[in-house]
Structure 1
């Protein structure tokens, strides 16, 4: 198994500092480690340049910065030309990475969501009407702007179309060229705990820890992965994360599903723990 990690943007022969500890743990576990140029991966037609330093051959897993689904597909193809196969295919990456691709399978455990296929006002208003009334949270297919909660994420009342559109405009402004797919409007649910990030390899929960935004904060109530395991396994995805939070009524709710390759590791989870589940899980 090869671990692919981003190179440092200034010192191209070094691992990006954010992933250096995972690279060290992978080498210690006997894995090959290869550097890729993340900036090149984000540029059209530069995927082959991005992977030119990958010398090993065989199956690989990526641990790096987020890529759009089309960028990941180009990454996948460039590696195949070098006889390297990503453990997560381009189609599997999209299914984990973009909410409309996983929502139908997990809709019972996550807030009701509607989305558009573009960013025009007419489609946005139609999505609001589908939720009828009440508060909502705005995002696109891959990301919210929750750190700009009141100006670009939270919609106090979907019946207030003009107010909601102001939030949508600010969201578009902040996301810029990174906006993916269209608007996703999700029913607001009142959570009473910090989020828990769970890590799944081939449909099995292998690691449970805090969310990177709250690395020191784990809810007093433990999440039982068996309760949600069947639904996650049914997706058939090799490496994903699923973030859960306790709703005010004490029910665990899925906040987000993501591809594990581009999900951040909280500082309170040792890099060796993550590398171990990848090395052992994929090898088995």
Structure 2
């Protein structure tokens, strides 16, 4: 196994500071580490130089900043030119990264959702009509703007077309060039307590952490994955995260699926714990 991390912009031979502890933990666990030029893929300049420090012929896992699906595909292609195989294919990445790709597998465990393709007002209002009435939470295929809760996230009533569109317009403005896919409307559900992030390798939950937004907060109720495990396994993905939160009726609900390669690790969890979860997969398949 080879761990790939973004290079430091000012010191390109070193890992980006945000992932330096994971790189060090990997080395201590006997895993090779290499850096890539993350910015090259973001700028659409995916060439051999961007992965020039990656050794040939490796089985690799990426831990780094978020990439759009097409940018990740370019990374995989560039690495293939070095004989490097990514455990997560471009198809796997998209399935974990974009809500319309993962929604059907976990539909019973996640808020009801409708989405558009693009940012057309007519299509958005059709999604509102499909949801019916009542409050909803707005996002795009990959991200919400929950830190702008009242102006760009919460739609108080999808039946109020003008008010709903004002929220959507502000969301679209804030997302800018990062806007991905289309609008996604998710039925509002009353949650209690903090989110918990679960890390799954080859369909098995290998690590449970706090959510990065609330790194010191853990749910007061014991997490029970019995109901959701078959659905996460049905995604058939090599490395994903599932964020869960307790609904006010006592049910655990999945609010997000993400590709584990670009899911942030809370600082309250040691880097070695995540590396161990990945290495356990390696050991179980040898």
* TM-score range relative to shorter protein: over 0.9
How far does residue 203 in structure 1 lie from its aligned partner after superposition?
A: 0.1
State the SS of the aligned residue for 1:186: strand
1:125 aligns with 2:108: no
Aligned-residue Cα RMSD (Å) equals 0.9
How far does residue 49 in structure 1 lie from its aligned partner after superposition?
A: 2.9
Question: Which residue number in structure 1 is paired with residue 114 of structure 2?
Answer: 114
Structure 1 stretch 41-50 or stretch 224-233: which is displaced more? 41-50
Question: Which residue number in structure 2 is paired with residue 214 of structure 1?
Answer: 214
Q: How does 1:217-232 map to 2 (within 5 A)?
A: 217-232=217-232
Q: How does 1:49-88 map to 2 (within 5 A)?
A: 49-88=49-88
Q: Residues 223-263 of structure 1, C-alpha deviation per residue, up to 9 Å, x if partnerless?
A: 12232111111111000000000011111100100000000
Structure 1 stretch 271-280 or stretch 50-59: which is displaced more? 50-59
How far does residue 47 in structure 1 lie from its aligned partner after superposition?
A: 4.2
Question: Which residue number in structure 1 is paired with residue 185 of structure 2?
Answer: 185
Question: Which residue number in structure 2 is paired with residue 169 of structure 1?
Answer: 169
Question: Which residue number in structure 2 is paired with residue 140 of structure 1?
Answer: 140
User: TM-score of the superposition, structure 2-length normalised?
Assistant: 0.97
Question: Which residue number in structure 2 is paired with residue 249 of structure 1?
Answer: 249
Question: Which residue number in structure 1 is paired with residue 237 of structure 2?
Answer: 237
Q: Residues 181-225 of structure 1, C-alpha deviation per residue, up to 9 Å, x if partnerless?
A: 000000001101100000000000001111000011111111122
Structure 1 stretch 163-172 or stretch 44-53: which is displaced more? 44-53
**Aligned-partner Cα distance in 1 for 2:46–2:100:** 28
User: TM-score of the superposition, structure 1-length normalised?
Assistant: 0.98
How far does residue 157 in structure 1 lie from its aligned partner after superposition?
A: 0.5
Question: Which residue number in structure 2 is paired with residue 42 of structure 1?
Answer: 42
Gaps of 5+ in 2: none
**Aligned-partner Cα distance in 1 for 2:151–2:48:** 40
State the SS of the aligned residue for 1:192: strand
Contact 1:40 1:49 in 2 (8 A): no
Question: Which residue number in structure 2 is paired with residue 279 of structure 1?
Answer: 279
Gaps of 5+ in 1: none
Q: Residues 26-82 of structure 1, C-alpha deviation per residue, up to 9 Å, x if partnerless?
A: 001111100011110112242433211112422000000000000000101110110
Contact 1:112 1:187 in 2 (8 A): yes
Q: Residues 98-137 of structure 1, C-alpha deviation per residue, up to 9 Å, x if partnerless?
A: 0000101110000000000110101000000000100000
Contact 1:201 1:282 in 2 (8 A): no
Q: Residues 155-200 of structure 1, C-alpha deviation per residue, up to 9 Å, x if partnerless?
A: 0000111111111111111110110000000000110110000000
How far does residue 14 in structure 1 lie from its aligned partner after superposition?
A: 1.3
